[in-house]
Amino acid sequence: MNTWSSEEVLRATGGVPGHGWSEDLLFSAICSDTREIAPGALFVPLRGERFDGHEFVAQALARGAAGALWARQDAPDGIPEERLIRVRDGLEAYQALGRENLRRLGIPVVAVTGSVGKTTTKDLLACLLRSRFRVHCTRLNFNNEVGVPRTLLELHSGHELIVLEMAMRGPGQIRELARLAEARVGILTHIGESHLEFLGSREAIADAKAELLDEMPVSSLAILPRHCPFFERLVAHVRGRVLTFSGEGPADWTALRIHPLGLEGCDVEIRHPEGISRLRFGLPGRHNVSNLLAALAAAREFGLTCEEVAEPLAGFRPSGLRTEVLHLPDGTTLLNDSYNAAPSSVRGALEILAGVQGRRVAVLGDMLELGVDEEDFHREVGEAVGAAGVAVLVAVGTRSRAMARAARREGVPTVHWVAEREEAWDVLKSEVRPGDAVLIKASRGIGLDLIAERLVGGPEH
């Protein structure tokens, strides 16, 4: 844990201390959640759609905070001025403190963004780098304007590297995060269909993701998907070096051969700038090999060879709800990929399911934020369900009607369409049999992770 002097806080935030403020005050930590207040911490009140952290300043001080920021115009009621620093904007100050913590520690940053695969790539890279370094990385979904500075504030002198995931919902948001990170290495995993509703085109999505590249220094390394349709568009934003990866053809890091091992992963033969390596990868799916190549390229930048990371790679498991394979007591195999979904990631998950022996069941929900072409995307997924040899499809949500119709046309034997999650569970309970392989996947807002939890708990749930 890092201590902060009053001078450091004031310099980073541009804040103005209240009357009677002690210049000798030291803060034990920076906190934005009263539930996590450490004695002697500085509390930063943030605003959300349904809350205002200023309402909890008194509570934070009562719980042991030594001081707090204050970004409202009104005078704080009953809070001593000598415990406050007035700032223009709480979030802006929080981000500035995160950036300052990174700068004073001087820890190299790898930043990861993209439409799909960014969390898996982040987890993979952190796993590989831990073979040699003390690594901190983005936890949970702390990948936005609040989560990134929080992750930076968690850094301490015991860390040697940090892997940051960066997410967005619109233009300018990646740039905001990239300015906090000053990344030495930046990875763009894939430019897909996610966020079409907000950005309108894949070209606009590529430009928004490329904001990371705009903010990286000349000494940096950009790791880019070579066979992305917008590769040249991305390269135009790069100021430093470029390395490419591809699971589909020639690149600096490319997969020459992928031998699937069912749900246990795959063996991969990789060509890279130093030769050819053969590795066992513990994560199934050809689409995940692309994430692997990007992570390996970044790990090599920090001196790690393919041979050095072979052992952690073979045992790699992603964060929860992402390509999670569970073998249930009755012989059912659950492929729980319910964290989120986009057309490309659903097709990848169906490809994994197609390689599993036994009767295949897919519970697929709406894919959100796809814009005016959402019906076409859902129809294409329905066609992919047919190609994967699925015996039972349970399509969940209003958008998934098109998926269900397409699956029926493709000859899927049993197709159910339901409007919401509870109906899906009722259908699944009656359809799933011991020994089945069940895939569960949808956008996060559909909440199909609850279906997976119930399936693991047994039909009585």
Q: What is the pLDDT of residues 59-85, one digit of tens each?
A: 999 999 999 999 998 878 889 999 999
Report the alpha-carbon angle 404-408-413, nearest 5: 115
Count CA atoms within 13 Å of residue 452 on its CB side: 29
- Segment 336-391, tens digit of pLDDT: 999 889 999 999 999 999 999 899 999 999 999 999 999 999 999 999 999 999 99
Region of 389 (left: φ > 0; alpha: ψ -120 to 50; beta: rest) is left
Let me know whether 78 and 182 are in one domain. Answer: no
* Residue whose entry in the numeric block shows the structure tokens 């066609």: 383
Convert the pLDDT of each residue in 83-136 to its tens digit. Answer: 999 999 999 999 999 999 999 999 999 999 999 899 999 999 999 999 999 999
Are 34 and 118 contained in the same domain?
Answer: no
Burial of 254 (0-12, 13-18, 19+ CB in 10 A): buried
Domain boundary among 314, 347, 365: 314
Task: Note whether 424 and 378 are same-domain residues.
Answer: yes
- Give the confidence band of 52 by pLDDT, cuts at 50, 70, 90: very high
First to last CA, the chain: 43
**94 in a structural domain:** no
Residue 201 lies in a domain: yes
In percent, the amount of the chain with pLDDT more than 90 equals 86
Please determine, for residue 156, whether its predicted confidence score (pLDDT) is greater than 70.
Answer: yes
The answer to the question of residue 96 being in a domain is: no
Claim to verify: residue 225 and residue 340 sit in the same structural domain = no
Domain membership flag for residue 77? yes
Alpha-carbon distance 33 to 147, whole Å?
Answer: 12
Tokens of 110: 């790898």
Would you state the pLDDT for residue 193?
82
The amino acid present at 59, given as its one-letter code, is: Q
Which residues form the domain of 365?
A: 324-457
Claim to verify: residue 217 and residue 258 sit in the same structural domain: yes
The helix (run of H) or strand (run of E) holding residue 322 is: none
Element (H, E) at 395: strand 392-396
- Could you count the other beta carbons within 10 Å of the beta carbon of residue 390? 25
- DSSP one-letter code for 37: P
Q: The tokens 């009656």 sit on which residue?
A: 430
% of the chain residues with pLDDT over 70: 99
Question: How much is the average pLDDT of 41-63?
Answer: 93
Q: Kindly state the tokens that stand for 50.
A: 């349904």
Pair (46, 121) in one structural domain? no
Residue type, 36: E
H-run or E-run covering 123: helix 118-129
Helix residue ranges per DSSP H, 373-461: 374-387, 401-409, 421-431, 449-457
Say which CATH number the domain at 371 has.
3.90.190.20
Based on the domain organization, do 164 and 31 belong to the same domain?
no
Dihedral sign from CA coordinates of 242, 124, 351, 427: negative
Which are the contacts of 207, defined by CB distance < 8 A and separation ≥ 6? 171, 233
Q: Is the pLDDT of residue 276 over 60?
A: yes
Is residue 95 included in any domain, yes or no?
A: no
The answer to whether residues 47 and 129 belong to one domain is: no
Question: Which helix (H) or strand (E) segment is 269 a member of?
Answer: strand 266-272
What's the CA gap between 130 and 328, in Å, rounded?
Answer: 31
Residue 98, domain member (yes or no): no
Structural domain includes residue 24: yes
315-335 core/surface letters (b: 16 or more CB in 10 A; e: else): ebebbebbbbbeebeeebbbb
CATH number of the domain encompassing residue 36: 3.40.1390.10
- Domain final residue, candidates 53, 88, 123: 88
Candidates 245, 244, 241; CA nearest to 255 is 245
Read off the pLDDT of each residue in 163-173 and give the average, rounded to a whole number. 94
Q: What is the average per-residue pLDDT within 196-201?
A: 83
**How sure is the predictor about 460, in pLDDT bands with cuts at 50, 70 and 90?**
very low
> Is the per-residue pLDDT at 194 higher than 50?
yes
| H/E stretch holding 363 | strand 360-365
* Integer Cα distance of 286 and 79 in angstroms: 58
Q: Tokens 């952290």 correspond to what residue?
A: 53
- Report the CATH number that the domain containing residue 189 is assigned in CATH: 3.40.1190.10
Which residue among 269, 291, 314 closes a domain? 314
Mean pLDDT score across all residues of the chain:
94
* Domain co-membership, 228 together with 310: yes
What is the predicted pLDDT for the residue at 458? 56
Contacts of 17-22 with CB under 8 Å at 24 or more apart are 17/84, 17/85, 17/86, 18/70, 18/80, 18/81, 18/82, 18/83, 18/84, 18/85, 18/86, 19/81, 19/82, 20/80, 20/81, 20/82, 21/67, 21/81, 21/82, 21/84, 21/85, 22/82
Closest CA to 116 of 452, 346, 413, 355: 346
Whether 54 and 126 map to the same domain: the answer is no
Same domain, 167 and 266: yes
Do residue 272 and residue 368 come from a single domain? no
Domain count for the chain: 3
- Asked whether residue 319 is assigned to any structural domain, the reply reads no
152 — phi, psi (to 5°)?
-65, -35
